[in-house]
Amino acid sequence: MKNLILLLFSIALSGFGQQKTTGNLVALDNAFYDYIAKDAKIEVLADGFIWSEGPVWVKEGNFLLFSDAPQNTIFKWKDGEGISAFLKPSGYTGILPYSNEPGSNGLIINNNGELVACEHGDRRISRMPLNQGGKVTVADTWNGKRFNSPNDIVEVSNGTYYFTDPPYGLPKQQDDTSREIEEFGVFKIDPNGDVSMVVSNLTRPNGVALSPNEKILYVNQSDSNAPYIMAYNIQNDGKLDSGRIFFDATELQNAGLIGSLDGIKVAKDGTIFSTGPSGVLVLTPNGKLLGRIETGQRTANCTWGDDGSVLYMTAHNYLMRIQTKTKGVRF
Per-residue confidence (pLDDT) for residue 80, from 0 to 100: 94
Which tens digit of pLDDT belongs to each residue from 118-161?
999 999 999 999 988 799 999 999 999 999 999 999 999 999 99
| pLDDT of 18 | 58
238: left (phi over 0), alpha (psi -120 to 50) or beta: left
192-201 long-range Cβ contacts below 8 angstroms, 24+ apart: 193/138, 193/139, 195/139, 195/141, 195/142, 196/142, 196/239, 197/142, 198/162, 198/232, 198/238, 198/239, 198/240, 199/230, 199/232, 199/240, 199/243
Which domains are seen in the chain, by residue range?
2-323 (2.120.10.30)
CB 164 within 8 A of CB 219: yes
Q: What is the pLDDT of residues 149-190, one digit of tens each?
A: 999 999 999 999 999 999 999 999 999 999 999 999 999 999
In the predicted model, residues of the chain with pLDDT beneath 50 are: 1-17
pLDDT score at 45: 97
What is the structure's pLDDT at 330? Answer: 78
pTM > 0.85: yes
Amino acid 21: pLDDT: 93
| φ, ψ at 155 (rounded to 5°) | -120, 135
The residue type at 54: G
